[in-house]
Amino acid sequence: MTAIKHALQRDIFTPNDERLLSIVNVCKAGKKKKNCFLCATVTTERPVQVKVVKVKKSDKGDFYKRQIAWALRDLAVVDAKDAIKENPEFDLHFEKVYKWVASSTAEKNAFISCIWKLNQRYLRKKIDFVNVSSQLLEESVPSGENQSVTGGDEESVDEYQELNAREEQDIEIMMEGCEYAISNAEAFAEKLSRELQVLDGANIQSIMASEKQVNTLMKLLDEALKEVDQIELKLSSYEEMLQSVKEQMDQISESNHLIHLSNTNNVKLLSEIEFLVNHMDLAKGHIKALQEGDLASSRGIEACTNAADALLQCMNVALRPGHDKLLAVKQQQQRFSDLREHFARRLASHLNNVFVQQGHDQSSTLAQHSVELTLPNHHPFHRDLLRYAKLMEWLKSTDYGKYEGLTKNYMDYLSRLYEREIKDFFEVAKIKMTGTTKESKKFGLHGSSGKLTGSTSSLNKLSVQSSGNRRSQSSSLLDMGNMSTSDLDVADRTKFDKIFEQVLSELEPLCLAEQDFISKFFKLQQHPSMPGTMTEAEDMDGGTVSRQSNSGTSLSASSEKDMIRQMMTKIFRCIEPELNNLIALGDKIDSFNSLYMLVKMSHHVWTAQNVDPASFLSTTLGNVLVTVKRNFDKCISNQIRQMEEVKISKKSKVGILPFVAEFEEFAGLAESIFKNAERRGDLDKAYTKLIRGVFVNVEKVANESQKTPRDVVMMENFHHIFATLSRLKISCLEAEKKEAKQKYTDHLQSYVIYSLGQPLEKLNHFFEGVEARVAQGIREEEVSYQLAFNKQELRKVIKEYPGKEVKKGLDNLYKKVDKHLCEEENLLQVVWHSMQDEFIRQYKHFEGLIARCYPGSGVTMEFTIQDILDYCSSIAQSH
C-alpha cells in the first residue's frame, strides 16, 4: 500500500501541488467488483483546500488516473455502518449518497480517522460521523491545548512526508561514505549518532569562546540605553514647549474662524439688502406716472404702462424667508398696495369715461348711415382703446374686481349703442325690401322710419291672406286655362337677394371686429380647444338641421372663450331677433325668398364655423339658419297643400295644371339659386316631396276631370313635367323623369287607341268577333263558313266605309282631339301622327285577318294605306 501511495503522490497529486494524507482501496457496494482508491488530500498552497479524490486504474495501461474529486466542505455525513463489529462498508454523503466497501476494516478506520482530523484542523464544520467508534475519534483528538487544530504539529496528521530533492541528495552522499549503510542499518545509525555528538560538542565550545564578545555587546547596549534616556528628556522638554504653542495656535484659529464668520454674515447681509433694494425699489418717475400720469395721451399711456409693469414686478417679487418680518419690507409693500389701489381707480374711472364718450360720439354719426344700408365703423374707437390693452392686462392680474366692473360697464354702454345702430340698419333694409311707403304699409310697416309692427296677429293675418291669394290665383288660373308666375318677377327677387346678402355682409365683419377687439383689449384667448357642441333642431318635416348650442356657464366658472361668447351675446343681443324679423318679412313678401335666404345663410354659417365653430357669430347665424330652414320647409309644405286644394272647372278643358307650372318655376329658380350651394341636400329632399305631390295630384285631377279625358290630362301634364326635368337636368330626379316619360307615353298610346276605335266602329266590331271565334278554337280558314262572319257579311261591312267616309271620320276625330288638347303644350301634331301610325297598324291588322280567314275571296278594303296618309296630311294642313 505504501508503494501505491508513493506512486499516486508522484504521478497524480504532486503535479497539482497536493499532498496525499490517507488512502483506502474500495469498490462500490452491491455491484460488480471494480476496485478504485479514495484519497484524502490537501493543497500545499494557502489557503489549504481539503478534497476527497477518487482514483482508478486506467483500462489501457498500468497507470492511475484521477476520476472525480469532492470538496470536504460538501461532505455532510460519514456512515461507518457499525461501531462495534468490524464491517468494511461505509457511506459518504455528498450531493448524493456514495456507498463503498473497503478492502479491510483497518483501512476504512484509518481513512475515517484522517477525515475527522482534517475536518477538525481545516474546516471546523459540522460533519455527522454515524456508527463510528468513539475510541477511534478520541484517539484522533489532540491531548494538549497547544496541539489544537490551529497550532498542532502537522506531523501528527501526516503518516508520510516526502523528502525534498536536497534532503535526498544529502542522504545519498552520507550513504555513499558508508559502505554498510544499507546492509547494516544499526551500525550506520550508531555512526551517525557519534558524529552528531561530535558536532554538539563543537557547538558548545564555539559558544563558550564567544562569551567575551557577548560581554562587550552588553556594555554597548547599556551605553545605548543611557543615550536613549537623555534623548527622552529632551523630547519631553520639546513637547512642553510645543504644548504652549498649540494652545496659542488654537486661539488664533478660533479668532480666524470668528472673523471669517463675521465676513460671511456681512456678505450675506449685503446680498439681502441689495436684493431688497434692487427688487423692491420703485423709481420716482414710475411713482409719479402712477399718481399723476396722463391717461389720455399716447406718451402718458406708455409711461403709465411701464410704471404699472414695474409696480407689478416689485409686488410679485419672491421674498426670501424672513423678509416679510422686516418693518421696512412691510412698509414698502403697503406703499405698493396704496399705489396699486390709487392707479386702478384712476384707470377704471378714465376707461368708463371713454366708454361713455364713445357712445355719444358714435350716436352723432348714425344720421349719415340712416339712408345707406351700412353699419357704422367702430375701428377708430377700437384703435384708441387698444392703447390701454396692456393696462387692462395689468388690471386683470392685480385687481380682478375692477377689471370685472369695467367689463360689465363696457357691455352695458356698447350693447345700447349697438342696439340703436343695428335696429336703424335693419329698418333701412326693410324699407329697401318693401320699396315705397305704400308697399311698406302693405307688409306691416308704418311711419317714416319703416318700423315693423309688433303685432303677431297682424302678421298671422297677412300670412293667411298671402296663402289665400295664392290659392285664389291658382283657381282663377284653372278657370282661365293659363299659366302664371309668382307675384314678383326675377328682378324683385334678385333685389331681395342682394339686400339680404348686404345685411349679412355688414353684420359679419362688425361681429368679427368686435370679437377680435374684446379678445385683445380684455386679454381673453380665442383658443380653439373647446369646439362648440352641435345640436340637432327638428325641421318642419321631421328632418334635422345642425345648430350651435348657446348654453354657457357663469363668467366666473367659464373659460376665457366662453367669456368672450357671453360678452358678445350681451352686446349683440338684438341681432338674432332683428334677423328673424327680417326673415319673416322676406317670407311674407314672397315665400320663394326662403330659397335665397337658405343659401345665403348656409354659406355664412359655413364660413363662420370654419373660423371658429363656438364663436358668437357662428352660434347666432346657426340659430337663425334653423328659422330659415323652417320657412323653407313651410314653403314646400304650402305648395303641396295648394296642390291638394286645387279645384278644376267643369266647363273648360284642364290643360297644364297650375301646380305643374309652379313646380317648373320653383325648380328653375331653385337651380339658379342653389348652384354650387352648401345645402344642396335640403333642396334634393324638397324636390322629392314636391314631385311626389305633383304626380299624385295630377292623377287626382285627371280622375276628377269631366270636360277633358283623363288620358289627355295625364299625357299633357306628364309631358310637361318630363320636358322640365330634361331641361333642368336635376340628378336626384332621374327616376321621376323616367317615370314621367313612361306615364306620358302610356297615356298617349291609351288616348290614341281609345280615340281610333270610333271612326271604323262597325269594322272594329266585325273583326273583334272574328278574333273571338279563332280564340274559341275555330280554324282561321273556317271562319268564313260562320253565318255571321261569311264573305257576304264582310263585304257589307267594308262597303260602309268607303274612302270618303273614312276621311270624314278622320276629320271629325282631328277636331275632337283639337278640342281636348291645350295650346300651351303643342301636342296636337304629335298626337295626330301617333293616331296616323295606329290607324295604319289597324289597317294592316285587318288586311292580315282577311288574308288568313278569307283566302282567295278577293275581298279588299275600299281605301289603301296611301289614302290614309293623304287623308291625314290633308286634314292636318286644312286646320
What cell numbers appear for 756 in the block? 281610333
3-state secondary structure of 132: coil
| 673, 745: one domain | yes
| 227, 272: one domain | yes
Q: Are 822 and 653 in contact (CB under 8 A)?
A: yes
What cell numbers appear for 830 in the block? 304629335
What cell numbers appear for 585 in the block? 318679412
The reported pLDDT for the residue numbered 363 is 56
Who has greater pLDDT, 784 or 143?
784
What cell numbers appear for 279 in the block? 427688487
The reported pLDDT for the residue numbered 434 is 83
User: Which ranges of 2-102 would DSSP assign to H, the alpha helix?
Assistant: 2-8
Among the ranges given (258-272, 364-378, 647-661), the one the predictor scored with the smallest mean pLDDT: 364-378
13, part of any domain: yes
| 739, 802: one domain | no
Residue 447 pLDDT > 80, yes or no?
Answer: no
pLDDT band, very low/low/confident/very high, at 526 (cuts 50, 70, 90): low
Who has greater pLDDT, 61 or 541?
61
Residue 850, H or E segment: helix 828-853
Instruction: Report d(CA 830, CA 384) in Å as an integer.
Output: 77
**DSSP secondary structure string for all residues of 687-700:** HHHHHHHHHHHHHH
Instruction: Report d(CA 100, CA 96) in Å as an integer.
Output: 13
Rounded average pLDDT over 517-526: 83
Q: Are 832 and 878 in contact (CB under 8 A)?
A: no
- Whole-angstrom CA distances from 342 to 295, 410, 553 are 14, 21, 33
The reported pLDDT for the residue numbered 304 is 92
What cell numbers appear for 252 in the block? 488664533
Amino acid in position 830: V
261, part of any domain: yes
Query: Diameter of the chain by CA atoms?
Result: 198
Domain holding 794, by residue range, is 775-878
Q: Point out the domain boundary residue: 117, 137, 157.
A: 137
Residue 865: DSSP 8-state: H
521, part of any domain: no
What cell numbers appear for 847 in the block? 288586311
Closest by CA position to 626, among listed 533, 538, 541: 538
How much of the chain exceeds pLDDT 70, in percent? 83
Residue 171 pLDDT > 80, yes or no?
Answer: no
pLDDT band, very low/low/confident/very high, at 758 (cuts 50, 70, 90): low
Sign of torsion, CA 256 262 266 268?
A: positive
Instruction: Report d(CA 622, CA 625) in Å as an integer.
Output: 5
Instruction: Report d(CA 209, CA 761) in Å as an integer.
Output: 187
Q: Quick one: how far is CA 399 from the chain centroid? A: 39
Q: Point out the domain boundary residue: 87, 122, 137.
A: 137
pLDDT band, very low/low/confident/very high, at 145 (cuts 50, 70, 90): very low
Residue 545 pLDDT > 50, yes or no?
Answer: no
Rounded average pLDDT over 795-813: 79
pLDDT (tens digit per residue) in 260-308: 999 999 988 888 888 887 777 888 898 898 888 898 899 999 999 999 9
Residue 430, H or E segment: helix 400-434
Instruction: Report d(CA 188, CA 826) in Å as an integer.
Output: 167
Beta pairing partners, 24: 38
The reported pLDDT for the residue numbered 459 is 35
| 119, 13: one domain | yes
| 868, 792: one domain | yes
- Whole-angstrom CA distances from 615 to 409, 530, 554, 567 are 22, 11, 17, 11
Rounded average pLDDT over 439-460: 39
| 657, 712: one domain | yes
Contacts of 121 (CB under 8 A, 6+ apart): 149, 150, 152, 157
350, part of any domain: no
List the CATH number of the domain containing 126.
2.30.29.90
**DSSP secondary structure string for all residues of 614-673:** TSHHHHHHHHHHHHHHHHHHHHHHHHHHHHHT----SSS---S-HHHHHHHHHHHHHHHH
Among the ranges given (95-104, 379-388, 678-687), the one the predictor scored with the smallest mean pLDDT: 678-687
The reported pLDDT for the residue numbered 245 is 87
Q: Are 637 and 535 in contact (CB under 8 A)?
A: no
742, part of any domain: yes
Among the ranges given (357-371, 615-629, 782-796), the one the predictor scored with the smallest mean pLDDT: 357-371
The bridge status of strand 128-130 relative to strand 77-79 is parallel
pLDDT band, very low/low/confident/very high, at 489 (cuts 50, 70, 90): low
- SS percent in the chain: helix, strand, coil, step 5: 70, 10, 25
pLDDT band, very low/low/confident/very high, at 759 (cuts 50, 70, 90): low
Residue 54 exposed, middle or buried by CB count within 10 Å (0-12, 13-18, 19+): middle
Q: What is the mean pLDDT of the chain?
A: 79
Q: Quick one: how far is CA 587 from the chain centroid? A: 43
- Residue found by looking up cell 296677429 in the block: 457
- Whole-angstrom CA distances from 775 to 99, 657, 692 are 122, 44, 42
Instruction: Report d(CA 265, CA 259) in Å as an integer.
Output: 10
Contacts of 659 (CB under 8 A, 6+ apart): 474, 639, 642, 643, 646, 693, 694, 697
The reported pLDDT for the residue numbered 701 is 83
Q: Are 821 and 828 in contact (CB under 8 A)?
A: yes
691, part of any domain: yes
417, part of any domain: no
pLDDT (tens digit per residue) in 832-869: 778 778 778 888 888 888 888 888 777 887 777 787 78
| 806, 874: one domain | yes
Instruction: Report d(CA 756, CA 760) in Å as an integer.
Output: 8
Residue 408 pLDDT > 50, yes or no?
Answer: yes
Who has greater pLDDT, 277 or 147?
277
| 118, 13: one domain | yes
Closest by CA position to 392, among listed 383, 404, 381: 404
Residue 619 pLDDT > 70, yes or no?
Answer: yes
| 27, 126: one domain | yes
The reported pLDDT for the residue numbered 182 is 66
Rounded average pLDDT over 376-395: 90
Q: Are 445 and 582 in contact (CB under 8 A)?
A: no
Q: Are 488 and 470 in contact (CB under 8 A)?
A: no
Q: In total, how many domains does the chain have?
A: 4
Residue 119: DSSP 8-state: I
Rounded average pLDDT over 677-697: 86
**DSSP secondary structure string for all residues of 358-426:** HHHHHHTTHHHHTTTT-PPP-HHHHHHHGGGHHHHHHHHHH-HHHHHHHHHHHHHHHHHHHHHHHHHHH
| 806, 747: one domain | no
The reported pLDDT for the residue numbered 681 is 85
790, part of any domain: yes
Closest by CA position to 808, among listed 871, 741, 723: 871
pLDDT band, very low/low/confident/very high, at 484 (cuts 50, 70, 90): very low
The reported pLDDT for the residue numbered 879 is 65
pLDDT (tens digit per residue) in 78-122: 999 888 888 889 999 999 999 999 989 999 999 999 999 888 888
Residue 529 pLDDT > 60, yes or no?
Answer: no
Who has greater pLDDT, 211 or 437?
211
Contacts of 396 (CB under 8 A, 6+ apart): 403, 522, 523
pLDDT band, very low/low/confident/very high, at 473 (cuts 50, 70, 90): very low
Q: Point out the domain boundary residue: 114, 137, 160.
A: 137
3-state secondary structure of 168: helix
Q: Are 568 and 616 in contact (CB under 8 A)?
A: yes
pLDDT (tens digit per residue) in 110-119: 999 999 988 8
Contacts of 585 (CB under 8 A, 6+ apart): 430, 433, 434, 443, 444, 452
The reported pLDDT for the residue numbered 533 is 38
Q: Quick one: how far is CA 515 from the chain centroid? A: 29
| 30, 123: one domain | yes
| 751, 802: one domain | no
Instruction: Report d(CA 55, CA 23) in Å as an integer.
Output: 10
Q: Are 708 and 820 in contact (CB under 8 A)?
A: yes
